[in-house]
Amino acid sequence: MADLKERIARRCAKEFKDGEFANLGIGLPTQVADYIPEGVTVTFHSENGFAGIDAIATENPDVDIINSGGTYVTTIPSVKFFDTAESFGLVRGGHVRATVLGAMEVAENGDLANWIVPGKKVAGMGGAMDLCSGCPEVIIVMLHTQKGAPKILKKCTLPLTAEKCVSKIITEMGVMEVREDGIWVTELHPDYSKDDIQAATACTLHFDPAMKAMEEA
């Protein structure tokens, strides 16, 4: 499982170009930062108040610097701190080019559900709704299924975080793009066949004619 998650994080790290500004969610998305290729500098947004997150502060943390999960972190030399209004102005304004998040469900039209399960303990959306509706690109990183049940569906059953927002899905099985006419597989991992990935998905997948083997960093 850890290996599969590392595979997903490594592949996602290739999505970024030098100089970009992006947001990583808590959990698997955070790991993506560890695999950004040499020579590529991405400024990572911490929506609670700065651009330029570096790493978890393991000792003598600055108690004025936490990330959005409440963990003490360090920052890069070019960091800019800001308040919540400015932070989400950057998000809604489309200046944070991409957000990487996990998902409970993704629909074939790009609808995303990742914030609430009715009847379960309520956590709240935090900044997820703003990020998903504001960022030009929403990249979902997740295991393809949950205890064998597909998470990529024809229609979400859970309340949405944002509608038609997902542009790309990266799982251990492959890389998929959400297009006007549905979900297209652009990379398939060599461990799986077209039938395998389709069987693990609850909507019809399209296979891009230029589909290639899933690359890892």
Partner 1 sequence: MVNKIMTLEQAVADVRDGMTIMVGGFLATGSPEILMDALVEKGVKHLTVIANDGGLDAGQPAGNFAGKTARGVGKLLEHHMVDHLIASHIGVNPKINEQIAEGTLRYTLVPQGTLAEKIRAAAYGLGGVLTSTGIGTPMEEEPDELGRPKKVLEIGGRKFLLELPLHADYSFLRPSVADRFGNYMCAKATKNFNYVMAGASTCTIIAPEKLVEIGEVNPDIFQVAGVLVDGIVEGEQRWQI
Enzyme catalytic residues: 47
Query: What is the C-alpha to C-alpha distance for residues 21 and 80, in angstroms, rounded to an integer?
Result: 12
- Cβ proximity to partner 1: between 79 and 211 the closer is 79
Q: How many Cβ atoms are within 10 Å of 121's Cβ, its own excluded?
A: 6
Query: What is the C-alpha to C-alpha distance for residues 145 and 127, in angstroms, rounded to an integer?
Result: 25
Residue 134 interacts with partner 1 (CB under 8 A)?
A: yes
Closest approach of Cβ 214 to partner 1, in Å? Answer: 31
Give the β-pairing of 98-101 and 43-46.
Answer: unpaired
Q: Interface with partner 1 by CB under 8 A: which range of 2-10, 16-24, 155-163, 198-206? A: 155-163
Given 30, 31, 43, 87, the residue binding partner 1 (CB under 8 A): 87
Closest approach of Cβ 211 to partner 1, in Å? Answer: 30
Query: What is the C-alpha to C-alpha distance for residues 13 and 159, in angstroms, rounded to an integer?
Result: 29
Residue 104 interacts with partner 1 (CB under 8 A)?
A: no
Query: What is the C-alpha to C-alpha distance for residues 136 and 33, in angstroms, rounded to an integer?
Result: 19
- Residues binding partner 1: what is the number (CB under 8 A)? 48
Residue 47 interacts with partner 1 (CB under 8 A)?
A: yes
The tokens describing 66, both together, are: 């936490």
Residue (of 194, 204, 122, 88) closest to 155 by Cα position = 204
Residue 99 interacts with partner 1 (CB under 8 A)?
A: no
At 34, phi and psi to the nearest 5? -70, -15
Residue 110 interacts with partner 1 (CB under 8 A)?
A: no
Contact positions toward partner 1, by CB under 8 A?
Answer: 46-50, 56-58, 61-66, 68, 70-72, 81-85, 87-89, 91-92, 111, 116, 121-130, 133-134, 159-164
